[in-house]
Structure 1
């Protein structure tokens, strides 16, 4: 009899222990899931953004083939490009989060353009692929984009600016070549702490100005 009672107690103890373990694991998995949801959602939105820019790029090239110039602006969200013969393109997508049109810059009197966005995942390989590790755009505020054939994105790089005293000054320049900067520091606002060496500094500050085309 005593042996049976002891056996029942052991069985009850094991069942309770298993239940506690299961509850603990469930709590851990639930916590992990909720913590990781924003990251997963951000990556999904990034995929949408990159796909959107490719769709708009196709529409822009189609527009150029018909009109012999790129449009001065993108249509409102969800609206197509319209042509004089009443034909239209597919609806032009907008950012999936802000619901605003993607930043579009037309250049050279309609003969070229740049189209930008900001990806949530700053480690996305696409950012490196297009050269926007240090930022792109007139204020270095974007990290991904596409452009018309033969046109490069307006990329930003950190460089050792001229002057700056003994310690030097690490700043973002849009056209380091114009300033004859000997070294570029992509996505490194400290310039690897090398600006104290005069040989690493740009010759002039003309490349700090925004590119004008």
Structure 2
């Protein structure tokens, strides 16, 4: 049940995030739907490919496709004056999607009895894969590659699930809230990982 709820939350959040980015880039209605769908399902497709699940399994999620389409439609039809702070909404829905899908992906891998390393990879790919594809299609630098902390929270979710520190439904929902809150705090207060730049040689 927790897996399905998290899948639904992640699907809605990433579909909305993709649609908002597409509208920020002034894509037409087809572009909005494509970017929303790719953001919602891209991470899961990459995860399936790497942990041995047929990629075609994604087409069995008919209900989630319908939910994604409805979410994108709602965003597209939403009054523009209520979406003035698009960046804030986009960041928040992306944080929810990251958290829900990272935990969902980790559970998916853990249920297949994969080792901790695979559970962490599944968490990171499911949580950030759709966002990476979204940003690349929108011509943006992927959030996960910036110095601002992003993928670390997906890794944290993978570690907690992989070590079986959260197994009950309430523990998973608590973890979801914590990961979402940490992601919101990291972009609100501009938490960054250490960086080191190299000067280009002429």
- The TM-score with structure 2 as length reference comes to 0.28
Greater radius of gyration (CA): 1
**Which of 1 and 2 has higher RCO (CA within 8 Å, sep 6+)?**
2
- The TM-score with structure 1 as length reference comes to 0.27
Is the helix fraction higher in 1 or 2? 2
